[in-house]
Every structure is written in structure tokens, then in C-alpha cells.
Amino acid sequence: MDAAPRVFSKAVCLLDCPLGQTAMLCNVAADPALRRRLAELGLRCGMSVTATQRTSGGGRVVAAGDARVALDRTAASALQVVADA
């Protein structure tokens, strides 16, 4: 039996977002250097992202547009997302 994707109504950490669930990036709760680096990688508030894989260190591979970005656990935990409607 296939499980329906979990839908969340408020912002959650990217690590809590199920794999394959598309969500909108709404906040980056990180120091300015990490915020700048994530923006350089194309991860900015308001864009849709999808966590596609877990990494061995607890991070995530994130699809954002045509790009795929591997994030360590610290960077992934700084991203707050809400489910796309």
C-alpha cells in the first residue's frame, strides 16, 4: 500500500520533509556566511525545493530547478520549508 505524502501546514526543517515532497523554502536560519553560500548555490527563499536523497552523514540532496545540491546536516537543518499547495 502506498503511503500518501505527508502535508504540513507550517514551516518545518528540511530534514523533517519527506523525500520526494516538493516544498517552498521560506527561511534560512543560519549565520550570514552560510546564508550567502546557499544563495550562491541557488537556494533562496521563495523557491521550490525537493529533498531527493539522504546522505550518509544525515544531510540531503536537494533538487532546486534544474540543479541538484548536496547539503550536509548542518546546512539542511538551517532550511525551513512549507509544503507547496
Q: In the chain, what are the domains? A: 12-83 (2.30.30.90)
Pinpoint the alpha helices (H) of 1-85.
32-40, 73-78
Residue 33 scores a pLDDT above 90: yes
In the chain, % of residues over pLDDT 70 = 88
Query: pLDDT band for position 20 (50/70/90)?
Result: very high
Q: Which helix (H) or strand (E) holds 11?
A: none
Beta-carbon neighbour count of residue 83 at 10 Å?
A: 18
pTM of the model: 0.82
Q: What number is the average pLDDT over the span 51-68?
A: 94
DSSP state of 83: E
